Amino acid sequence: MRLTIQMLISHGRVARKMGLGPESRINMLRNILTGLVRHERIETTRGRADEVRFYAEKLIDYAKKGDTDEKAMKMANFWLTEKDLIPKLFKVLAPRFETQPKAYTRMARIPNRENLDKAAMAVLEYKGNPFPPLQTAKRDNELTLINQLLKGYREQRAQQAAAKVEA
């Protein structure tokens, strides 16, 4: 093939290449996904975590259909290499995300790996896992001036709404 500069620039190509080829990529993602379902929080490279996110959420969507569904069981069987996790998926993870429509996973970036490759790392987790939170949402102090004003505003609105309901 022609060794052009255009080969080095992606020009809008969004599909990531991982491993030795497309089949290798799917196998790698399968392994990572199995690890995620087993441990609910894993640490991988950033690119792999980003790829697995899509599949992790799609797997939950399939699991929500229930284990009696033919297609759902086939998907779970394919994607989870350790078969003892299939009941966990249908009985623990699917009910946990019943109320949420999407966004079952959270990805947080962490410092680069200490090895020679200095790979950019990320932590991927299913929400609602039993571990302590990764990043606490930075909330401004409740007692600052602007928050106190907003608190008073919200209370007044609530009281007005209550008064309207009564009337």
Partner 1 sequence: MLLLCGSGTAVVVPRLASSAASVRLSAAEVRGRRSAVFSREQARQRSLYPRTEKIEVTLQIPGLQGTLLVMNKGLSTPHSCARHLTEWYVTSSALALVDGKPWSLHQPLTQSCSLSLLTFKDTDPLLVNQAYWRSCAALLGQVLQDAFKEDFSVELLSLPEVLVTSGAFCCDVVLDPQLDAWNPSEESLRSLTRGAQQLIHRDLPWEPLEVAPPVALEVFSHSRCKQKEVEEKSAQSPKGTVILYRCGDHVLLSGGPLVARTGLCSQYEVTAIHPLGEGKWGLHRRAQGLSLPLQQQAHHTVWRKLRSRAEKLVEVPTGSTNEAISDTLTLPSAPEQTPPHTPQQ
Q: Which residues bind partner 1 (CB under 8 A)?
A: 141, 143-146, 148-153, 155-156, 159-160, 162-163, 166
Q: Looking at beta carbons only, is 14 or 163 nearer to partner 1?
A: 163
Tokens representing residue 120 in the block? 């950019």
Residue 48 CA to residue 151 CA, distance in Å, equals 43
Minimum CB separation of residue 132 from partner 1 in Å reads 22
How many other β-carbons are positioned within 10 Å of the β-carbon of residue 66? 11
Cα angle for residues 63, 41, 86 (degrees, 5° grid):
30
Minimum CB separation of residue 137 from partner 1 in Å reads 17
Q: Looking at beta carbons only, is 9 or 163 nearer to partner 1?
A: 163
Q: Looking at beta carbons only, is 77 or 156 nearer to partner 1?
A: 156
Q: Looking at beta carbons only, is 109 or 151 nearer to partner 1?
A: 151
Place of tokens 């959420």: 57
Minimum CB separation of residue 150 from partner 1 in Å reads 7
Minimum CB separation of residue 135 from partner 1 in Å reads 20
Minimum CB separation of residue 155 from partner 1 in Å reads 6
Q: Looking at beta carbons only, is 4 or 141 nearer to partner 1?
A: 141
Tokens representing residue 38 in the block? 């087993």
Do the strands 121-126 and 105-110 form a parallel or antiparallel pair, or are they unpaired?
antiparallel
Please list the alpha-helical segments (H only) found in the chain.
5-8, 22-39, 46-63, 70-79, 85-88, 94-96, 145-166
Contact 56/122 with Cβ under 8 angstroms? no
